[in-house]
Structure 1
């Protein structure tokens, strides 16, 4: 059987049953639950500090009406970071390399921000389609362009996350295969390739965290325009 580099992105199955649901549920099992005690352990304290700092940074420039989204966006941030980081463990599956899953996260949340803007301040929301001071002959063209850019937002969210993670996983796969093949032939080159692989893995860890942050940050910017 001929294997492809893209086989690592295939949805895992066991006895014909897809394991994507299990992969999506696993991150929530790993997070410790807060207790009612006055003092918690270091892990719970660090987790609480991170959640509070992230929530403050994301929602500080947003109006009070958008603070209702704090729970869902913070949970989404933790969820994406955990999925991306777990995907770097050997013999695991990364659900966020699937465009369908990323679009399933991006489209409903983007649509919710648009609906909130249309319901609360329709004039302001529709005003984004036509910048102030536009010459009259350019009005139809700008409305079409702004409408297209509005509907491309969820596609950009999903494709950005998918493309960055897929590219990183493919590079790790290619360099690790090269190091494995070169080891019996040229050990020195294989050692240098292994060092490069280690550095690339560190970079991919940073990419996994940054892409999750960018995904939620862009959603918060879309929310800020509509509240």
Structure 2
């Protein structure tokens, strides 16, 4: 008789320039030690078509790969949700790495309290020379109350106190909010603020992600800081979160 397995889905959007980092992301997944009865499945979704990504996709039955029309990382992740299994979805960008134990800590939080809709953790910048650097002002380990992320983000130059690239979220809640926002960037911040508008979250003070800094990352491009586009992105991100809060719908 085969043992019963519960799946946590890991979703990764990738395009050709970042594909070379997939083996390191895969290595960090393979180092995760999950509780008995749990397994991860890795959904890699290429943003656009072409042959530049597939050579870097690991040959592993736990890994599936698809590609589709280009629309940005938010579109790619949302398309990957069609293949998602299990109660939770973990985000892992193609150029980042999980730290040992990160996935098990997320599961422990979400399994322990059904009222917590999502979990985040401390992130460390992974610099080109291989060293790491932390972010100033990380919150304390513990719950993130509903609405707290929007308040902090609005008061601190559109910087959230928890990193959206570290999200692990209940799959049904993610689907109910429509996945990631249809924005050219900041789509993960938009999701984070929407999640916090309707549910409590959690922050783990232990580092759960190595956030790679490199010359090709989207957030390092000049278009990302264009003031006109950035103002529009921030406005719609905030408006969505405020509207959700005002409508009064609550998770859990």
| Structure with greater proportional strand content | 2
Greater gyration radius: 1
TM above 0.5, one fold? no
Specify which structure has the higher proportion of helix. 1
TM-score, normalised via structure 2 length = 0.26
